[in-house]
Amino acid sequence: MTELNPIKNENFDSKTFRPRKDDSDIRVRLDKMPKLLLTFDMFPPPIRDGQMIGMFESNQTIYLTFANKCNDLQKQIDELKKQINK
């Protein structure tokens, strides 16, 4: 059976998904996701009636649709938490 990770566990850093000995060009992973996703104040184009999301959109449009909705929900959650804690 072939292993998915060809590098032995003691030489592998699970936070960067790279060998520990190779410190060049390491992509640092987040320990915790930010509360709001980055959108740079951009909004996706409007969705046409009857069009399935993902049919013709680019990855950026799909991300912006998802990120803006997630951020709206996070803001509503924060408001509800404030009301509950009063």
Residue 69 has what pLDDT?
95
| pLDDT at site 64 | 93
For residue 36, give both structure tokens. 């709001």
pTM score of the predicted model: 0.62
**Main-chain dihedrals φ then ψ at residue 47, nearest 5 degrees:** -90, 130
DSSP helix/strand/coil, 65: helix
Q: What is the pLDDT along the chain (86 residues), one digit of tens a residue?
A: 445 555 556 666 666 666 655 555 566 667 788 899 999 999 988 877 777 777 778 889 899 999 999 999 999 999 999 999 97
Q: Where are the domains of the chain?
A: 9-85
